[in-house]
Structure 1
């Protein structure tokens, strides 16, 4: 290269290359950093080292893995049982043993997380296992049938002769002591050992369905038989006899002490079909005798409302559902027709001045007779009274203290102590005071008053 002045040739020296930065340390540090981050992240989900539950080491595991480890250890723990019937080995899984492993693992992590060094190597946590007694008994009896005598469940049935449901009591069986086996499993699990041996005797085995449970069901069923029927209000208008009600019912035990009740809708429908003939009726008017204040002293005819049964299309199904719930009182819907009441007022007037007896009905004279009241010294008392005791015949005065005796006095109706209306056969002098205080009437008139004046009829005696 020339500069164009002295003819000499020059060349530029190449520029000194720039020094490159050494990044090897960065590349070496990346794996170490990633590892540290991973370790930190892991510590956030792992249980602290040394943690254990009932002898199961769960340190360094996630809660999920710890739960699985606890469940696996319990399921695999074996118990060899030595009994009078021989030797048998069962596992926790055979016995239906369980623990809430998830809750235990979650608590272990919450109390002892790996990220918290102070919680490392904590004291082990104990736990109570649960054993399904029925499953355990079944497993032991299957492996050692000679040690097992099955219990007999209590049962119930309808006794046609007694027309009632009756209980057949439960009978206890016999089997290996499940409680002893459970305790041995618990000890082995707590100690963290895979197997153990226990001596267990034979003990009574209760029936799944007890006598008491059957008795409760029998009481409910007999309550149904006691009250079964179609009701209008509180009246059992159409009773269902016990045998018929029992024929409608089916009882199904579930093997655990419950007895399900169901009812035959079609059979109930047969009874429903005839309901109208037993329920429908016309109204009957009342006919009553009253006093001057309107109070009833005698009902000659009791009033009765009329009624008509409504739609019966859904009764059988509804009654079947009620019976299944133990309710045997089916309420019928009816349309009622009221009755009228005929009231007749009756009272008796005794006029001592006129020596007459007048019977009044609804304020009008019904009968008027001459009579004989008490003679001088035995005057009939004045006042307002009511007919009380009545008798068709009696002797009068024939006791100590009386100086007369009249036999077989007919049609006696007392109104004031020993003063009464009665028939008189020993004189015919009516219209003149003749008696010892009673009101003498002819026999025929006394009989008519006796029949006409009911207990409670008002009597007014005056001059």
Structure 2
């Protein structure tokens, strides 16, 4: 029997017949389908770790793990707001929100995230962070007074009143009330330990007024110092003083919520004074007597600057603002014309050789007359001197240097000493002027002596020469 698979050398190979092949199944890409959600989850976890706080983190007993800083801030603030303080067992209660409890929740939450971010595994489940709270005194007192009015007696604030010529203080008087320090400490303890309520002993203690005696006295002192100098000034001159009573009528003193005293001034009242200001004046040139050194010895004509008041439309408002800030010196807007001062340098010059006196101003002779100076042996000493002492009348006595005789002369008029016991004076006992006659003084007719007495202030220069 011939094997059908067997071929002969020249015979073609038989065709092989197979069943139709089924299409190969498509390969499932499970890796892609599983990998995309996993990658998204991983990215989300990484992103979350960059904005969330680590688990196990707490701020004052408030768990903030897995929260953003903003959510943590809200949780901290909400927890404090809801913490309850009860006044005695079974007594009335107030919440932290009603007490005006304050905590810097934003900073605390931000610090918690900074110190313990989710991505930092080493910081997970750390210690609880402390948080300091505070109370708004006004809000807390009002809340406690509302639920326990029997525990409160209002304090009397200090007051400032004007009396006579200044401000005086009425001291503050303490009231009674629940001690806010006790409430704050209890609320702090409950908040820090994670408790939602706390009971305190509502025993009343002294309550000080916010407007204290010390604050009132400090304000009164400033006001009284201001009253001492208050007025309208031209330069350093208080041209228009304002009386303390008038100034006080301009001022109103109140207190703010913190008990600080606030001073305000009524510009309309000030305007009434501004409208009546009359400070214009003409310039007056002055005249003074001096010596060679330039010292002013006498004022013959008192000089005065000229001035014209300028625009006053804003003066009242500006002065009111100054008074509120504590300054009572208001410098008026003025145009000033300075005075000119004429100096008269005066000199009493005696020429012994001519027995003549010269009255000089600024080097020019303004008058002259004959005199009698000291006799030989009792000469009038030459030199530069100045008038040191004057008297309208004097009894003179002494010993003449030339004769050694004692002398007495009563009621010598218009005496002006310039060198020891040598002086200018009037002589009523002789009329031989132009010749030496005296025991050393320079004498002249009484009328002439009075003229130089009036003309020569103390300090006028004297020159005696031959």
Deviation at 1:358, TM superposition (A): 3.4
Which of residues 18, 21, 29 is equivalent to 2:23?
A: 18
- 3-state secondary structure, aligned to 1:405: strand
Q: Residues 211 and 261 of structure 2 are in contact (CA less than 8 Å); yes or no, is this contact kept in structure 1?
A: no
Structure 1 residue 449 corresponds to structure 2 residue 449: no
- 3-state secondary structure, aligned to 2:378: coil
Q: Distance in 2 between matches of 1:30 and 1:146?
A: 71
Cα separation, partners in 2 of 1:165 and 1:414, compared to 1, 3 Å: same
Cα separation, partners in 2 of 1:18 and 1:366, compared to 1, 3 Å: closer
Structure 2 matches for 1:119-268, cutoff 5 A? 119-159=123-163, 162-199=164-201, 201-268=203-270
Deviation at 1:41, TM superposition (A): 4.9
Q: Distance in 2 between matches of 1:115 and 1:288?
A: 92
Deviation at 1:238, TM superposition (A): 1.6
Deviation at 1:380, TM superposition (A): 1.7
Deviation at 1:158, TM superposition (A): 2.1
Q: Residues 306 and 338 of structure 2 are in contact (CA less than 8 Å); yes or no, is this contact kept in structure 1?
A: yes
Deviation at 1:291, TM superposition (A): 4.5
Q: Residues 214 and 257 of structure 1 are in contact (CA less than 8 Å); yes or no, is this contact kept in structure 2?
A: no
Deviation at 1:14, TM superposition (A): 8.0
Give the aligned partner of residue 352 of structure 1: 352
- 3-state secondary structure, aligned to 1:407: strand
Deviation at 1:344, TM superposition (A): 4.2
Give the aligned partner of residue 94 of structure 1: 98
Structure 1 residue 377 corresponds to structure 2 residue 377: yes
- 3-state secondary structure, aligned to 1:61: coil
- 3-state secondary structure, aligned to 1:404: strand
* Ranges in structure 1 where 5+ consecutive residues have no aligned partner: 1-11
What is the root-mean-square deviation in Å for CA atoms of aligned residues?
3.1
Cα separation, partners in 2 of 1:402 and 1:135, compared to 1, 3 Å: farther
Q: Residues 81 and 181 of structure 1 are in contact (CA less than 8 Å); yes or no, is this contact kept in structure 2?
A: no
Deviation at 1:251, TM superposition (A): 2.6
Deviation at 1:418, TM superposition (A): 0.7
Q: Which moved more, 1:25-34 or 1:114-123?
A: 25-34
Give the aligned partner of residue 282 of structure 1: 282
TM-score (norm 1): 0.85
Q: Which moved more, 1:188-197 or 1:388-397?
A: 188-197
Alpha-carbon displacement from aligned partner over 1:24-67 (angstroms, at most 9, x marks no partner): 95698479737844555545544333322222233333333333
TM-score (norm 2): 0.84
Which of residues 77, 86, 96 is equivalent to 2:83?
A: 77
- 3-state secondary structure, aligned to 1:19: coil
Q: Residues 388 and 417 of structure 2 are in contact (CA less than 8 Å); yes or no, is this contact kept in structure 1?
A: yes
Deviation at 1:264, TM superposition (A): 2.4
- 3-state secondary structure, aligned to 1:218: helix
Q: Residues 286 and 342 of structure 1 are in contact (CA less than 8 Å); yes or no, is this contact kept in structure 2?
A: yes
Q: Distance in 1 between matches of 2:387 and 2:235?
A: 37
- 3-state secondary structure, aligned to 2:407: coil
Q: Distance in 2 between matches of 1:444 and 1:163?
A: 54
Deviation at 1:414, TM superposition (A): 0.9
Structure 2 matches for 1:363-374, cutoff 5 A? 363=363, 365-374=365-374
* Ranges in structure 2 where 5+ consecutive residues have no aligned partner: 1-16
- 3-state secondary structure, aligned to 1:397: strand
Q: Distance in 1 between matches of 2:249 and 2:419?
A: 61
